[in-house]
Amino acid sequence: MILTRTSLQCRECKKEYDTAFKYICDECFGPLDVKYNFPTITKDTFTNRDHTYWRYFELLPIEQKSNIVSIGTGMTPLIKADNLGKKLGLNNLYIKNDSVNPTFSFKDRPAGVAISKAKEFGLSAVGCASTGNLASATAAHAAKAGLPCHVFAPSNIEMAKIAQALSYGANYIAVDGTYDDANTIAAQIGDSKGIGIVNINMRSHYVEGSKTFSFEVAEQLDWQVPDQLIVPVGSGAMLNAICKGFEELQTVSLLDDVSNMHMVAAQPHGCAPIVDAFKKNNKEVIPVENPDTIAKSLAIGDPGDGRYVLKRLQQYNGFAEESNNKEILDAILLLAQTEGIFTEPAGGVSISVLQKMVEQGKIDANDKVVCYVTGNGLKATESIMEVLVKPTVMKADVNEISAVVN
């Protein structure tokens, strides 16, 4: 039984296609988005369902439930961050904590949908271009699906992320170059060998996984629309998908008007091409050739959805701001020491930009604010170790140790 009817529609010229292993429009070469003919949905539709994002099956692009590849992703905590909120002067601050997903980042969301669709398409192998987190997420879902997985990533990413992807059995190709170099190679190999590269030739379906951020936040807020959303931005696909998700919830009458949301794009200094374009009021994003930031998971110099992020910021009265390495590290510690959440630098970017938005008067004390924390701090300990106090080794003597315990 087919529950969800989908097609593909060009984001630029609006030409429609039947759903297929395809991601670019034949007419204008624009990106293709999944378009739905939604069934009737109510809030009760999701009652008593799995606590994974597959609870929103009717809003996702898999036709047959038998093709779902799930490792238990989603329904991550939306924490009411009272301690951090108090420090920042915010009464309704929430942290969407995706660092607790199965491979410890939000990338389990898009990877899970893409691998499920690859299975539905009958593809014989999958892969990704990655700055680290997607490598692990794709490899884990590929292992669950029993599909060979090829990862293309820059050779200088965090060791923990390389170890994780290798543990799932991926064929890991460490490219001596930037993420954009790895991405170009992955695209050519994917197309020539018919491999489902999740964030390239599977991208139309892949980005649908990130929409589940919107579905969960809406449900966790009892179907209320947030006033402010702080989103870390690399390629820009996640921010665009979050907007699409909220719009679809409005389409199926689960949410009221979403047009008053404010979207905030957060990028690291050293790789902030979207912030640069926003602040200069440019419509085009000029790529950063050599990204230089500790937030390696956001070090995408040529963001594929950059232009569309700028459109979303205009549509949703948004802003774009950046944070330098020191600000990122300070924000990681601030979040850890107020809310007990340890994030990698990408999450530090979100928290730091949140602080800046408050300081600039862009967020009011009573706004309902959702800040997205997308990856776990244990994946990127190298950078934070530099600013932590090194523990002193002491003799196993109770009196000596007691003297230093206040």
Binding site listing for pyridoxal 5'-phosphate: 133, 374
Contact 135, 153 (CB under 8 A): yes
Binding residues: 133, 374
| Phi, psi at 229, each rounded to 5° | -125, 120
Other Cβ atoms within 10 Å of 259 Cβ, number: 12
How far is it, in rounded angstroms, from Cα 340 to Cα 343?
Answer: 10
For residues 323 and 350, the answer to whether their CB atoms sit within 8 Å is: no
DSSP 354-383: HHHHHHTT-S-TT-EEEEEE-BBGGG-HHH
Give 22-67 as a DSSP string. Answer: --B-TTT-PBEEEEEE-----GGGGTT--SSGGGGGGGSS-S-GGG
Residues 6+ apart with CB under 8 A from 50: none
The CA-based angle 241-243-247, given to 5 degrees, is 115
Bridge partners (DSSP) of residue 232 are: 266
Instruction: Give the contacts of 44 (CB within 8 A, at least 6 positions apart).
Output: none
Radius of gyration of the chain (CA): 21
Task: Name the H helices within 252-319.
Answer: 273-279, 306-315
Q: Is 400 helix (H, G, I), strand (E, B) or coil?
A: helix
